[in-house]
Structure 1
Amino acid sequence: MTAMAPAFDLVGLVVADMGKSLAFYRRLGLDIPATADTEPHVEVTLPGGLRLAWDTIETIRSFDTWTPPTGDPRISLAFRCAGPEEVDQTYADLVDAGHEGHRPPWDAFWGQRYAVVHDPDGNGVDLFAPLTPAT
């Protein structure tokens, strides 16, 4: 019998307030029904099949001991934007909506327009786009 390697399938986030967290990710274009705001566990399947899930602290504590991490975010999710202008616009939209801007948009030496915001639970969310269109 041939052994199969595990398949990377899901990224899970622990959230203090499901509604606030889902509202943040909806602003980034994720299709999450409004009815999910009061659920203890929510997941969506992203293009390509990877799933992103959110669990309330209470849900996680129902089966495991969990304490919030301290210090800098331990995870960062990156969202590709259509172009440099969309990086700037998305960053401004999130900050104007009251979310913490960590690094305002800049032209990174690796050839991308880049910015970092924090979601409501302090996770890093990177916004990026190539500085020049792909050829």
Structure 2
Amino acid sequence: MTPQLNLVGLVVADMAATLAFYRRLGLDLPPEADTEPHVEYALPGGLRLGWDTVDVVRSFDPGWTAPTGGHRMALAFLCATPAEVDKLHADLVAAGHVSHKEPWDAFWGQRYAVVLDPDGNAVDLFAALG
């Protein structure tokens, strides 16, 4: 069998704060997940997002340290319209999350914005322009 991408895993410092961020993006995560050390969410199409606390990661990788110097990957969420990109970006920033890039019209034909989740991971918001 050819390996298939099935789960994107993120390491989190504060599970409740991280899940609150992803709930604002529309993921229906149950409140009781806030106290779990490992959480998974099935996305449409079969791909899953997973979150592990630092303690869980260090239980099997004791030398793990958080990366520094910027992100190497980003999660990108498709929005229905350019106005939704702007609204979602504004909602996340108003909730205290850091905007990495304010919404702009990208040369490749999309409205685009980047917000950082509570652990500094880049989360792109995008929609096709007109």
TM-score range, shorter chain: over 0.9
Q: Find the structure with the greater CA-based Rg.
A: 1
Q: TM-score, normalized by length of structure 1? A: 0.94
Structure 2 residue identity aligned to 1:130: A
CA-atom RMSD, angstroms? Answer: 0.6
Matches within 5 A, 1:69-84: 69-84=67-82
Alignment partner of 1:41 out of 30, 34, 38? 38
Q: Any runs of at least 4 consecutive aligned residues in structure 1 with deviations exceeding 4 A, and if so which?
A: none
Task: Give 1:75 shift.
Answer: 1.9
Which of the residues 10, 15, 22 maps onto 2:12?
15
Q: Count residues with an aligned counterpart.
A: 129
Q: Distance in 1 between matches of 2:30 and 2:101?
A: 29
CA offsets per residue over residues 69-124 of structure 1, 9 Å max, x none?
Answer: 00101220000001000000000000000000010000000000000000000000
Q: In 2, Cα distance between the equivalents of 1:92 and 1:127? A: 11
Partners of 1:75 and 1:53 lie apart in 2 by 15
Q: 1:88-103 to 2 correspondence within 5 Å?
A: 88-103=86-101
Distance 2:126 2:76 in 1: 7
What are structure 1's unaligned runs of at least 5 residues? Answer: none
Report the AA paired with residue 6 of structure 1.
Answer: P
State the distance in 1 between where 2:9 and 2:104 align: 28
Q: Please state whether the residue corresponding to 1:25 is helix, strand or coil.
A: helix
Identity fraction in percent? 71
Does the residue aligned with 2:45 lie in a helix, a strand or coil? coil
Matched residues in 2 for 1:103 and 1:125: separation? 10
Q: Give the Cα–Cα distance (whole angstroms) in 1 for the partners of residues 110 and 96 of structure 2.
A: 25
Matches of 1:84 and 1:6, distance apart in 2: 35
Q: TM-score, normalised by structure 2?
A: 0.98
